[in-house]
Amino acid sequence: MASVAFRNIEKAYGKVKVIHGIGFDIHDGEFVVLVGPSGCGKSTLLRMLAGLEEISGGEILIDGKVVNELESKDRDIAMVFQSYALYPHMTVGENMAFSLRLRKADKATTDERVNKAAKILNLDPLLDRYPRELSGGQRQRVAMGRAIVRDPKVFLFDEPLSNLDAKLRVAMRAEIKALHQRLKTTTVYVTHDQIEAMTMADRIVVMHDGIIEQIGTPLELFDRPANLFVAQFIGSPSMNVVQGTLRSAGGSAHVDALGAQWPAPVGGRDGLAVHYGIRPTDIALAADGQGIAARVIVVEPTGAETELLLQIGESSGQEGQFVVVTHGRTNVQPDDTVHLRVEARHAHVFDAGTGKRVA
Amino acid sequence: MKAKRMSWKKVSNEAKLLLIGIPVFLWTIIPVYHLFLFAISGRDSATSGRLWPKEPTLQNFETVFMQKHYYLNHFWLQLGNSLMIAVAVGVITLFVATTAAFAISRLKVRGGRTVMNMALFTYFIPAAFLAVPMYRTMATYGLLNNRWSLVLAMVTIASPYCIWVLKQASDKLPWELDEAARIDGATPLQLFRLVYVPLMVPSLVAVGTYALLLAWNEYLYGFLLLSKETDLTLAVALGNFLAADDSPWELLMATGLIYALPPAAIYYAFKRYMVGGLTAGAVKS
């Protein structure tokens, strides 16, 4: 177990800079998820930590020790790859024992650790099989087993669930989280899937174009996104955002957008051009005649909740589409008119120029 | 109804294949049949033009095996030379080509590709033109009339192609395997020994067999570089049969038939290793 620190990390391929001075700390035993759209640099950052990519600038520390010049094998880390990367000519047991074999561990220790890891992951009946004889989920578990056997300071996961089908992904997600709670090994996990990030992380690092947009616990990011990018990236269905003008006077505020007045939290200067955001789950349907009118386009019942796609501001000339999620079932039909109630405390206001949170 | 149409289609496909296959088969087999025919014919009936000799005989083989002819005085020794040289060429080429391909393809050694391309460039020059420079080189190192000169020459000739084939094959191995092994703590040599070589086995068998057979069948370089009767390979010795005005054709063919058997045996022995799919299950593709 160990802490990890990134100090002003930069990465460039030739003249193209892909990571621009990233710095943050990961505490001992923490489960940190790096999340962002593809090309944001999250995998590159992980691979630099693993020693598979050279570090162009800055320092990476594991347990307070700079590891920039250390070989992968000397960093005491274990990595689970998206493609599993199992040795195809070795059985499950041999795959898991490989790192110990390289370190010339004696047979008793090797067997004990392989068996222990196999038990944790329910792999004991498969130890003599070859990777080609396993299903995708089993291979992924072997890859994790190979990491566990090492008992490393840090676990690295590079999009480990991307190749699994949706159902298995959810199951493995829980398995990885349970594993972390049991082993308490510091873990860095890369994914592009914000749901994976939200469900698994102690803290999430949201990356975009080689910089960090925000670091925080899942709920911090969800409740108070620091900027428009994080607001739209985190949460599913994603946040409704409209452009408007902030009106602030006498201890109350609203945003003029789509021909309506949207209640907003106090903060920011009157007349500022802003993006107004509200999550689909934070909008309630109001009684007729109150709130903001909208026309229903599509109704998508999912059983527990109903998702409505709405058209707003048709009369004002500025149109926009909103998604609203209501709990339970409604008898709303397409082309019906509904009224929306929004509370100021649920709204997010971002500066239209910088994208930064205003209130 | 549908089943019938399907079977008609199958029949016509089969017929097309046969139409191509039969001439190709005859084309290939007739010279071999002639070889066989001569080998089992007596001295006088060999050129009679019959499809099957009147009195088939194994006398020729006895003559060969007992070394009972002037040209065949060193038959067993020369067969041994051929074998020794072919195996040495196979093993050395395999070693050179595997390590080179590993360095170029997996370790990405700087300049590796250039070296490979330069080596391949030598194939633009026909091997026959290189024979004289090769002769000079061997003379400089004092290797003429030494069987190692032929081994070294054949390794030189076989290596570029083998490196190229192995490089292509190893480029297809998943890169993540190397990374996983590095993280697991493997040094480059351990990576080579424990991960790379086991996964390359089918290609290694193919390449090794290629080099071995190339050396087994080589005539020109053997003829140039070796001159002592006891150093010759059987291929060169067979060529010497033609030095006389009345060559003993039936003995030449019997020896040739014997000489052709080991390559056939090697091919059948190694065929089962030359299969793909060894990396199945390594990575999701």
User: Is the domain of B32 the same as that of B79?
Assistant: no
Q: In whole angstroms, what is the distance from residue A204 CA to residue A223 CA?
A: 13
Q: How many domains does chain B have?
A: 2
B176–A73 CB contact, under 8 Å: no
What is the distance in angstroms between the Cα of A233 and the nearest Cα belonging to chain B? Answer: 28
User: Is the domain of B18 the same as that of B140?
Assistant: no
The nearest alpha carbon in chain A to B179 belongs to: A52
pTM score, two decimals?
0.82
Q: Name the β-bridge partners of A60.
A: A6
Instruction: Locate the domains of chain A by residue range.
Output: 4-233, 240-351
Q: Which residues in chain A are closer than 8 Å to B198, comparing Cβ atoms?
A: 89
- Contact status, residue B211 vs residue B158, Cβ threshold 8 Å: yes
Task: Spell out the residues 6+ positions from residue B153 whose beta carbon is closer than 8 angstroms to its own.
Answer: B134, B138, B221, B225
DSSP annotation of A239: P
What is the distance in angstroms between the Cα of A73 and the nearest Cα belonging to chain B? Answer: 4
User: Is the domain of B56 the same as that of B87?
Assistant: no
Q: Which residues in chain A are closer than 8 Å to B191, comparing Cβ atoms?
A: none
Quote the percentage of chain B above a pLDDT of 90.
38
User: Is the domain of B100 the same as that of B216?
Assistant: yes
User: Is the domain of B51 the same as that of B100?
Assistant: no
- Contact status, residue A176 vs residue A168, Cβ threshold 8 Å: no
- Cα angle for residues B254, B259, B260 (degrees, 5° grid): 100
- Whether residue B271 lies inside any domain: the answer is no
* pLDDT-based confidence at residue B241 (cuts at 50, 70, 90): confident
* pLDDT tens-digit series, residues B213-224: 999 999 999 998
* pLDDT tens-digit series, residues A110-161: 999 999 999 988 899 999 999 999 988 899 999 999 999 988 999 999 999 9
- Whether residue B272 lies inside any domain: the answer is no
pLDDT at residue A84 above 80?
yes
User: Is the domain of B133 the same as that of B58?
Assistant: no
**Which of A77, A87, A114 is the best substitution to test chain B (most B C-beta atoms within 10 A)?**
A87
User: Is the domain of B160 the same as that of B58?
Assistant: no
pLDDT at residue B46 above 70?
no
| Of the residues B224, B243, B262, the one at which a domain ends | B243
User: Is the domain of B80 the same as that of B205?
Assistant: yes
- 3 state DSSP class of A184: coil
Q: Name the β-bridge partners of A177.
A: none
- Whether residue B48 lies inside any domain: the answer is yes
Q: What are the structure tokens assigned to B143, written together?
A: 């290797």
Q: What is the mean pLDDT of chain B?
A: 86
* pLDDT tens-digit series, residues A266-281: 888 888 999 999 999 9
**Which of B106, B284, B285 is the best substitution to test chain A (most A C-beta atoms within 10 A)?**
B284
Q: Which residues in chain A are closer than 8 Å to B181, comparing Cβ atoms?
A: 87, 98
- Contact status, residue B115 vs residue B163, Cβ threshold 8 Å: no
User: Is the domain of B105 the same as that of B50?
Assistant: no
> Residue A287, Cα to own-chain centre: how many angstroms?
37
Superfamily of domain A240-351: Nucleic acid-binding proteins (2.40.50.140)
What ipTM does this complex have?
0.83
Q: Range of B34's domain?
A: 2-65
pLDDT of residue A272: 92
- Contact status, residue B151 vs residue B89, Cβ threshold 8 Å: yes
Q: In whole angstroms, what is the distance from residue A95 CA to residue A114 CA?
A: 10
What is the distance in angstroms between the Cα of A38 and the nearest Cα belonging to chain B? Answer: 19
- Whether residue B254 lies inside any domain: the answer is no
pLDDT at residue B180 above 80?
yes
Q: Please compute the mean of the pLDDT values over residues B149-172 and round it to a whole number.
A: 92
What is the distance in angstroms between the Cα of A28 and the nearest Cα belonging to chain B? Answer: 21
User: Is the domain of B42 the same as that of B78?
Assistant: no
pLDDT of residue B285: 46
Of the candidate CATH numbers 1.10.3720.10, 3.40.50.300, 3.40.50.1370, 1.10.4160.10, the domain formed by A4-233 belongs to: 3.40.50.300
User: Is the domain of B84 the same as that of B122?
Assistant: yes
Question: CA-based Rg of chain B, rounded to a whole angstrom?
Answer: 24
pLDDT at residue B183 above 70?
yes
User: Is the domain of B103 the same as that of B48?
Assistant: no
pLDDT of residue B5: 62
Q: Please compute the mean of the pLDDT values over residues A294-317 and round it to a whole number.
A: 88
User: What is the domain-level CATH number for residue B236?
Assistant: 1.10.3720.10
A132-162 b/e (C-beta count within 10 Å ≥ 16 → b): eebeebbbbbbbbbbbbbbbbbbbbbbbbbe
Which of A153-162, A262-271, B116-125: highest mean pLDDT? A153-162
pLDDT of residue A33: 96
